[in-house]
Chain A
């Protein structure tokens, strides 16, 4: 019998960290954390779970990216600032630290704008350092398709960055 308590305790830092890194918001990360475990629990009822940590990271990443997308849509719907102005840190501080905060917020925004599942694949690759093969196995794609998705995402990131840099004073 699977010990649910152990699964939760062992994977809490991993899932919480995954959710927080992408969402950087206490309430959203908490919701994502809870949804992730409950979704994994349901998966376990339908099929044997090979690796709980892999399953949980995959679900947490997908849910977090989904939340980022909804956050973006909400901002756009409500007419809130959704561009660079929206992510500019309001706090004054060392230039380096401020730039880092803005870069982090920029990357989250770009991840939210990526077509699915590219955002999830890219996050699993660069944030969780999963191999192409591992991503392919968990997402249900071929390793080469994963490679293509990551390549495409990098190209998009470069493009987005270039367009930002052309706007004076933004980076």
Chain B
């Protein structure tokens, strides 16, 4: 032992250490545990890549359910992306990152069903899609023989529309960078971290739902709120494969429920299903979609677009539900049908809005402090704070005002707006309260005047005193 610490040894501490060192160790480990450990390495060479199912199977019993749940969670992320990208929509950076992590290690096949409650007029109450995932490729099967294949590594997707003999080729610049930044080769390590996170999160974050039977097979369930979205997972207690997963979030007058079932992991899939070749005789329509991580400039551009879509009013919140509703109404106004395939211009406009949400999700993911107080503020309201955040490593907050100027603000000069949305209230995808008002298909031509929004201690919402000249 080194001299400089042993001299300080307290006799009682020394005795405690001696107790631990000399305490008799019973025989062990139990033979089944040893057998599992031996089998884990003997089943294959040490360098061979194992499938997710094999990895889960090789874990101890406690870890199994958690691992299955973690695997389920990444598939949920993938499914959420699937939901966001249909029909022709876009996906969030973090969700994509999760999906990338999941699909680098396995193939998957599952059914995804979306229900809108109550269903919008003229639309079926639910829509079901088949999803196939193979490494970096995702195939989504749509009604009418339409299918979409997305290659996350080449940042490209093709949508084959047989009835129109048309192929939509969408380039997604920036996606490769997202993949490079977020994709983990160490899938098992990632899984371990997720398990640890799940295990360590405690009863405050994870609600265990006990066991129940699905078609005569016992499954164990849990509920967790991730980024404000309610996720329920049921995993088979024996195989640890997910049996049923459900994502729920509310938006204004409607509630959305996405259910995933019929899971098959590590199934052999025909590579031809993921072909991105243009069939002979088909016309090609090129599109593009910026998938690079959004910046502050994207936030400002997107906020302007949000306000423009709502006659100059900023959205009440920046969350999945609010943004989905905003875009749906806007698309309905644009084309009379929110489900119609959008034009490139419409896609660009929509992406600008979605990138605000992605930017905010990015901040939450990086544990960056942020607040949104756009409710009741109109585009052009100079000096009225709308959004502020503390960039990583910065001493001052960046604040966007109603006229979309951006300034540095000292932490002690931040506005005190009690109902500002922030990372602690389940945002950015915090479901709104259950629907109480009837569905409104289109916004009124002239919105009602915004209610006055006054901070508790101030008669007017003025910019904080320390705001310097706008930076941009």
Contacts and interface: CB of A to CB of B under 8 A. Distances in A.
**Residue with the greatest number of chain B CB neighbours at <10 A, chosen from A4, A34, A131, A161:** A34
A24 B5 contact: no
Interface residues of A, dominant DSSP? helix
A129 B1 contact: yes
Contacts of A155: 8
A104 B36 contact: no
Given A33-B37, A154-B8, A161-B10, A12 B19 contact: no
B28 A4 contact: no
B471 interface: no
A5 B42 contact: yes
A30 interface: yes
Interface residues of B, dominant DSSP? helix
A165 to B, nearest CB: 8
A151 interface: yes
Contact of A41 (B13, B28, B41, B203): B41
A154 B9 contact: yes
A81 interface: no
Interface residues of B, number: 47
Given A4-B38, A30-B30, A161-B12, A104 B60 contact: no
Given A4-B38, A12-B29, A147-B5, 12 more contacts: A5-B38, A8-B34, A30-B30, A33-B28, A34-B29, A35-B63, A37-B37, A37-B40, A103-B12, A127-B20, A154-B9, A154-B13
Interface of B: 1-2, 4-5, 8-10, 12-13, 15-17, 19-21, 23, 25-26, 28-30, 33-34, 36-38, 40-42, 45-47, 49, 58-60, 62-63, 186, 188-189, 192, 196, 199-200, 202-203
- 9 A-B pairs with least C-beta separation: A4-B41, A103-B16, A104-B19, A107-B16, A37-B37, A33-B29, A34-B60, A20-B25, A42-B188
24 contacts: A1-B46, A2-B46, A4-B41, A5-B42, A7-B41, A8-B38, A12-B34, A17-B25, A20-B26, A21-B21, A24-B23, A31-B63, A34-B60, A35-B60, A37-B41, A46-B186, A103-B12, A103-B15, A104-B23, A151-B5, A154-B8, A154-B10, A157-B13, A158-B13
Interface of A: 1-2, 4-5, 7-8, 12, 16-17, 20-22, 24, 26, 29-31, 33-35, 37-39, 41-42, 44-46, 66, 70, 73-74, 77, 100-101, 103-104, 106-108, 125-127, 129, 131-132, 147, 150-151, 154-155, 157-158, 161, 171
